[in-house]
Structure 1
Amino acid sequence: MPLQALSTELDAHIIEYLHDDSLGLEAMSRVSKYYRSLAEPVLYRDVEFAEWDYVRMTRLLMTLLDRRELAQHVKAFKIVARETDTYDRVRLISGNDAMAIDLWDYVDSIQTTIRDATRPEYCPEPSFAIGWFGKIFAQPTSIDGALALILAMTVNIETIRICRMHSGTLSHTYQVLEPA
């Protein structure tokens, strides 16, 4: 039986069943536009990163800047303190150089998003916006700038869990989360 013959409700249940299988959800999102429309809300609903995973977080930021409608699906965001072996850290650090180059393609989108999030009624200090922009492109990399921008874009977020950070502060993130 081809996938197209399944009912919409059954398709939705299959997608929900794959909730913890991000690779399976990614594969389903590539089957067709229909399955993409079912898989993406589940794929982006609960987002989790290790505090040192700058590369994956920046990839998410670039994806959300390219496809802003995906930000509406994020309901829960979690940063965990997770140890990794030396190989993973070396791979992530070496990936930062390529990531920084890719990120420059998003300068205009990042500036616009920061400007929208730091209007005078929300953030009266222009130095905050300038510092925020700088943090996104800073080396050595910090997740603070990218995390703050992602959270500013996610309008339907319900839960944010951030572990005690070992790799630096989240000053911009916490200011974005401050109630006005």
Structure 2
Amino acid sequence: MKVIGLAGWSGAGKTTLLTRVIPHLRKEGLRVSVIKHAHHSFDVDVPGKDSYVHRQSGAEEVLVSSARRWALMHELRGASEPGLRELLTKMSPVDLVIVEGFKSEPHRKIEVYRKANGKAPLFPDDPAIAGIATDATIETTLPVADLDDVPAVAAMMRKFAISLVEWI
């Protein structure tokens, strides 16, 4: 299993890019999973549903299963947020795990940089950034791909992904 991150400021287009890159990687025969960092009190459960009620009642974990999917929700109940390394150990084996967000973690990443965001690029201060997907002209020795060049971004992700065993 290999891991590569997509990091960038909010609004840079990480999710949009991922929705285009994942199908491309799947066509290349890769099994792909995603870990996405969310903000504080996000919720994937629907108030009023049984799983929500179980979780609100104090269950540490609630696993919901159907013929189409299963989902496991784990409540931290005041415990510290787990780091990326710990979260990766919970993933089922696939060819490539793409980590969206977690920009302060030290895993290898592709920066998604959009000029219109008006923010400074991350790569000068983050040695874990191995390449950049952007709509801007950037002076760097790092490989750069256009945000709209899905095959180039996918190739960069494959090239710079690191083995989970090697990273952990």
Q: TM exceeds 0.5?
A: no
Greater strand proportion:
2
* Higher share in helix: 1
TM-score (structure 2 length as normaliser)? 0.30
Give TM-score, length-normalised by structure 1. 0.29
Larger RCO (CA under 8 A, 6+ residues apart): 2
